[in-house]
Structure 1
Amino acid sequence: MVARIFIDGEAGTTGLQIRERLAGRRDLEVISIDADKRKDINERARLLNAADIAILCLPDDAAKESVALIDNGTTRVIDASSAFRVHPDWAYGFAEMDKGQSAVIAKARFVSNPGCYPQGPIATLRPLIQAGLLPAAYPVSVNAISGYTGGGKAMIAEYEAAGASASHFMPYGLTFEHKHVPEMTAYTKLAQAPLFVPSVGDYAQGMVTFVPLQLGHLGVVPRGEELHAAIADHFAAIPDSFVSVAPYAALAKTPELDPQIYNNTNTMRLHVFANDARAQAVLVAVYDNLGKGASGAAVQNLNLMLGVSPREGLA
């Protein structure tokens, strides 16, 4: 049976990319709202209840409204906003987070697509905390840079209008209350919120997250090879994973940390760099904020919920 998919908010950046990734699929039918009815609550309700799976590409409040409009008890939902990411009744849509997470997503009625920034820290920190190499109480800092598409329509318009005068590197979220922090805290399994400093670069898409570690104060100081092995073992045990781990090596620099290297893919590549003599390390994740960080993850979750290959439409 062909599944009916409704993308509520398909005219936005994430919605357009999801629609593009679903083009040509014969196992589903994308149903759309007429452009002049996008704000018609009755028409949105009709399509939400007519869909087998609704994908919400909306601001938080609008996403909550869409969920409230579903009254049939059968429509399943993937929400790309941050409205439900730490809600206990919603499955978290980072399929590689744990070995059984893809099965949780496959069975769920409600799936919250993960934010772009949290996935890198979750991918690198969670395996270390689970392996006992880092305590949950470890004071974590996260630094990251994303293309300006991560800021939505307003930031895209701002950067495109600025042209050559656009800022090449602009830190933000300096009140440390970024909306991704609760999700980052919950799914890394940290006992306290990390100090998170995001930034935007003068390029459209792609991102890198950095987690620096000062390990010297720990009772047992893990070596770089141990950190790398724990992360590599975690992802080696996960079938159909889009997350890979670079070989452990002492490098002063590498072109693999280019934030745009995996653009338009669902790939995430992890790196561990360490200086054991100094008891210092940095955990790095490179991926596309619009791919694995948004539309790619949504399609991966959709595939799991439909019971087809997770890689369908993500080659």
Structure 2
Amino acid sequence: MARIFIDGEAGTTGLGIRQRIEALPVSYGLEILSIDPALRKDTAARRSMLEQADVAILCLPDDAARETVALAEGLDVRILDASTAHRIADGWVYGFPEMDAEQEAAIKSARFVANPGCYPTGAIALMRPLVRAGLLPADHPVSINAVSGYSGAGRVAIEEHEKNGGPAFFLYGLNLKHKHLPEIRHYSGLTRQPLFVPSVGHFPQGMIVSIPLHLKDLPGQPSAAELEAVLQDAYEGCAHVRVVPAETRLEADTLANTDDMELRVHHNGEQVVLTARLDNLGKGASGAAIQNLLLMLGL
């Protein structure tokens, strides 16, 4: 029996994780520990939950996540953090199992695992193999455009969309300092900060991350087929990430309620648009957390 404490289980990601755990086979032997809602900010009560848990999953704002990690000092509990707080921190393993051949093993043995962000999951999946293969220079001026369902925009935005109709579409992060940028740059292998323009559409779940490139500006002027072959090789045999044929139209919510991600190389012979389609709450959040949890528990 493995005991799981979800610190912040009432939020969107926490609820998704709880539902996924409850849907797992009974034979997995997972028990969810729940704190009294009235005590969810009580330090002693949270410390008590951490003392009882084998794994604590943090679905909290960054500062609160750091507080929980400090509370767990000296305890025999492993931590999976879904916040932004520890994604590039020393001593933490990045929870993107498909990122490298050795990443699954690193997650299995880690005490501290940082769950990836939704936008970075798509961006890193597309760029890291190309940077490593030398087809995309680390200092290339990369632009990343992305659209997410409103479920990833927080409680206020969700209420705005579901109660009042909400805006059809909006760009945000236009100070060009989005909190996912350090993570994207670090794990993609980029040495130059990409230009990242995120947006939210009037649909609950789903996401597309897109990266346009001019082939003639890349070293050796590779073909679209060469880029696709590198991606195919990187994710061959992966259960949740696959490279699929390009399309002339993509809808962002097609993979809603799944834990999968599709990668594509769209092209006209001279230009390409790399796309990653996923569920911002699936492979981009709760689904990724369950994937990491099961690895951590050896299931």
Same fold (TM over 0.5): yes
Query: Cα distance, 1:284 vs. partner?
Result: 0.2
Cα–Cα, structure 1 residues 271 and 24, in superposed 2: closer, same or farther, change >3 Å?
closer
Tell me if 1:272 matches 2:271.
no
Determine helix, strand or coil for the equivalent of 2:163: helix
Determine helix, strand or coil for the equivalent of 1:216: helix
Query: Cα distance, 1:219 vs. partner?
Result: 4.1
Tell me if 1:296 matches 2:287.
yes
Distance 1:24 1:59 in 2: 26
Alignment of 1:101-140 (within 5 A): 101-140=103-142
Match of 1:15 in 2: 14
Residue 143 of structure 1 contacts residue 198 of structure 1 at CA under 8 Å; is this kept in 2?
yes
Distance 2:157 2:195 in 1: 23
Of 119, 143, 146, the residue aligned with 1:144 is 146
Distance 1:174 1:185 in 2: 18
Of 50, 56, 59, the residue aligned with 1:57 is 59
Query: Cα distance, 1:100 vs. partner?
Result: 1.1
Distance 2:158 2:149 in 1: 9
Residue 96 of structure 1 contacts residue 241 of structure 1 at CA under 8 Å; is this kept in 2?
no
Distance 1:218 1:286 in 2: 24
Match of 2:230 in 1: 230
Q: Which amino acid aligns with 2:162?
A: E
For structure 1, list consecutive stretches of 5 or more residues without a partner in the other structure. Answer: 309-315
Q: Deviations over 1:283-310 (max 9, x none)?
A: 00000000000000000000000001xx
Distance 1:22 1:39 in 2: 23
Residue 136 of structure 2 contacts residue 219 of structure 2 at CA under 8 Å; is this kept in 1?
no
Q: Which amino acid aligns with 1:109?
A: R
Identity of aligned residues (%): 54
Residue 4 of structure 2 contacts residue 54 of structure 2 at CA under 8 Å; is this kept in 1?
yes
Cα–Cα, structure 1 residues 129 and 41, in superposed 2: closer, same or farther, change >3 Å?
same
Residue 137 of structure 2 contacts residue 219 of structure 2 at CA under 8 Å; is this kept in 1?
no
TM-score of the pair, normalised by structure 2: 0.96
Distance 2:88 2:157 in 1: 26
Of 147, 152, 155, the residue aligned with 1:153 is 155
Alignment of 1:1-315 (within 5 A): 2-25=1-24, 26=26, 27-163=29-165, 166-236=166-236, 239-247=237-245, 251=247, 253-254=248-249, 257-276=250-269, 279-308=270-299
For structure 2, list consecutive stretches of 5 or more residues without a partner in the other structure. Answer: none
Residue 17 of structure 2 contacts residue 287 of structure 2 at CA under 8 Å; is this kept in 1?
yes
Cα–Cα, structure 1 residues 241 and 98, in superposed 2: closer, same or farther, change >3 Å?
farther
Residue 54 of structure 2 contacts residue 77 of structure 2 at CA under 8 Å; is this kept in 1?
yes
RMSD: 1.2
Q: Which amino acid aligns with 1:61?
A: D
